[in-house]
Amino acid sequence: MTTTAPSIAPDAAMIEKVARDVVTAHPPRDVPLTELMGAWYDAGLTWVHFPEGLGGLRAPRSLQPVANRVMREAGGPEPRTVNTIGYGIVAGTIRRYASPEQASRLLRPLATGEEKWCQLFSEPSAGSDLAGLATRAVQETGDAVTPGGGDWIVNGQKVWTSLAHTSRWAVLLARTDPDVPKHKGLTYFILDMTTPGVEVRPLRQLTGRAQFNEVFLDNVRIPDAQRFGAVGEGWIVANSTLGDERTSLGDRVPARGSGVIADALALWQAHPERHTPVLRERLTRLWIRAETHRLTSDRTRVAAATQATAGPGSAVTKLVGSELTQHVYEFCMELLGPAGTLIDTYSPDAPDDESGPTAIQRKYLRSRATTLEGGTSEIQRNVIGERVLKLPQEPRADKKIPWRDVPR
């Protein structure tokens, strides 16, 4: 059965019908994931606000939860978990900057999870100061057919690259002109991770798992056709990617009382012998913060539905959500007492962090990364101060100095 896109402007009822047609023709519990997500993409339900033929229906972005709800009710996955970075961070950049041929080639396998993506931005000496990165890309001389349009040769090192060890593609920010200020000499590429010269080394985390990586680039060749945006304007492209990243991390709007606060509530109910007035007050305050975050995230999500790119408000929900997660699991550890120091597995092959008798302990360990990944809390506070509250920018002594001359 082939599910076809509607011929008139979609509304919620139409999105729901198309979604139900897909899960009826491709029952999530009975068909391979790639078949299900391929049908989802072909029906225009992956990103409903994208153009037809590219996983969307040109519908209002606010209708995406309608489609996702139908998927969940049918027993399917939360779509973005199929390819976390691809869905939440990369797809929007592809839509804005790729050629139609590139978008058609890249988006469907991204949506089905057949080709995972990662983000090659952070570097050992330029994590939070992304514009200070040192990975170099030098263009070879072109030929008679494409003068000045030769391949780029990339050398450098990236770090904290989530899921690089499972990724086929990456978005890459590299320095192409060291003689101009640091924000102006950057160029944005997409990189096939199977290209010779790409080496991925997993980094072990507190949990025992290895989700982050170092990536070494040794004379990696990238065709000029895999450049997004103009040479030297990579900072502009990167900011669109980072905006999508903040939105992706901050717009996950759980139902009231669910999400991380649900873990704290369940633990509280399971251990009445540990109740104290002090812990009760802390749990109450955490619940209020969780509810405030949920409502703010929902408001940000609705506002984003009418914008072409993510607004700076997403930095608020990212900041509050990541710090709330840490505070909730710190509360859980205190409630558990000495039992919080016990853990049942410490394996890089652990299937997930969501189950088992000591899942709370593993979630606590994992939560330490939430204020680092996707931009540190310090960076989010800068974004909020300068772009949301319009406060004076922090002094930047190197803003007009050629990157080559910046002390480091």
- Residues noted as catalytic: 245
Q: How many CA atoms lie within 13 A of 212 on its CB side?
A: 18
Contact by Cβ (8 Å): 170, 222: no
Sign for the CA dihedral angle at 81, 83, 85, 88 comes to negative
CA–CA gap between residue 127 and residue 375 (Å, rounded): 9
CA distances 100 to 43, 122, 146, Å, are 18, 29, 20
CA–CA gap between residue 332 and residue 326 (Å, rounded): 10
CA–CA gap between residue 108 and residue 106 (Å, rounded): 6
Q: What angle do CA 54, 300, 249 make, to 5 degrees?
A: 65
Contact by Cβ (8 Å): 193, 164: yes
Q: Residue written as tokens 């399917």? A: 76
Contact by Cβ (8 Å): 186, 403: no
- The full length of the chain comes to 408
372-405 as b/e, with b when 16 or more CB fall inside 10 Å? bbbbebebbebbbeeeeeeeeeeeeebeeeebee
318 is written with which tokens?
Answer: 């990212």
Q: Do the bridges between strand 136-139 and strand 152-158 make them parallel or antiparallel, or are there none, so unpaired?
A: antiparallel
Q: Tell me which H or E stretch contains 304.
A: helix 277-304
SS3 268: helix
CA–CA gap between residue 193 and residue 390 (Å, rounded): 39
SS3 16: helix
Question: Residue 118 phi/psi, 5° resolution?
Answer: -140, 175
CA–CA gap between residue 229 and residue 236 (Å, rounded): 8
Contact by Cβ (8 Å): 71, 19: yes
